[in-house]
Amino acid sequence: MSSAFIKLVQLYESNGYEVQSSLSPLHFPGFNLADIPFSYIFKDGVKMSRGGGLAMAELSFLECLMPVVQPKNIFVIGNSFGWTTLALGLMCPNSRVVAIDKCPRPDEALGLEVTNILAEQIDAELVAVKGISPNDVARIVGDNFDSAIDFVLIDGGHTPDQQTKDFEVCKAVASEDCVYVFHDVINFNMVDSFVKIASANPQLISSLLFRTPSGMAISYPRQMADNLGPIVSAFTETDERVHVLHQEGKETLSSS
């Protein structure tokens, strides 16, 4: 189990919030795979933000990744109510973490405030600010980091076009050693966009992470292959297994 997960639950609960996270839709009929497996913050029974945060398995992936990557400057697109941003701060106390959210609703604006308040209670150099990708990224990165970013988590607008724009604008202000992690790639039908990103950037090794609830993805520099490859392999499936599972699923659907 992710130790960051335990610390996050304690952090939110000690500030009067309730955490709902990493549940199976099979246990709660009526919910789907795009909702209940992820992390949401409540207060007095009210969900604080429509957007959620990473599930426990996804936090475990990041927690395996970070000691190897050892990023100095972490940039997050999509803050919601701070869950994932604060998780990165807990995992990387020697890093600077900056998150942006375009705040389409008052909930996300409150989320920025709460994130910054909770950040003061943990050992992390972390700030969450209002910003829209791609337009505000270069300015915010320039204002908040003293060197290029070297780790990016893209969890903003969940469309193929937005995913591509988020990657391109981050790449323009990132170091050559930057690692890019994408959330919700499979669940929100952004695989084709990710494949195009991978094809256009052969200097990066790119992989879908089938063993994460949202179907995350990662692109990382080829020189990191020896160290990151085993971690990535542990959170995905082989092409052969993916093919077999898709085929078996089609046969099950056709016979039902």
pLDDT digits (tens, 9 = 90+) for 171-200: 999 999 999 999 999 999 999 999 999 999
- The answer, yes or no, to whether residue 218 has pLDDT greater than 90, is yes
What pLDDT was estimated at residue 21? 96
Residue 71: the pLDDT is 98
Q: Domains (ranges, CATH) in the chain? A: 3-47 (no CATH), 56-241 (3.40.50.150)
DSSP strand pairing (216-221 vs 204-209): antiparallel
Contact 65, 72 (CB under 8 A): no
pLDDT confidence tier of residue 85, bands split at 50, 70 and 90? very high
Q: How do the residues of the chain divide into helix, strand and coil, expressed in percent and rounded to 5?
A: 45, 20, 35
First to last CA, the chain: 36
At 106, give phi and psi (nearest 5°). -60, -25
Question: Can you give the pLDDT at residue 104?
Answer: 93
**pLDDT for res 249:** 84
Per-residue model confidence (pLDDT) at position 2 = 62
Sign of the C-alpha dihedral computed for residues 42, 45, 49 and 51 taken in this order: positive
CA pair distance 166, 60, nearest whole angstrom: 24
| Mean of pLDDT values over 73-89 | 98
pLDDT in tens, 109-166: 999 999 999 999 998 999 999 999 999 999 999 999 999 999 999 999 999 999 999 9
What are the helix (H) ranges across 70-157?
83-91, 106-119, 137-144
Distance (Å, rounded) from C-alpha 4 to C-alpha 2? 5
- pLDDT for the residue 7: 96
Kindly report the pTM of this predicted structure.
0.96
pLDDT tens per residue across span 33-42: 778 999 999 9
Least confidently predicted of 53-57, 122-126, 244-248: 244-248
- Distances in Å between the Cα of 104 and the Cα atoms of 77, 190, 198, 202, 205 are 14, 21, 30, 35, 33
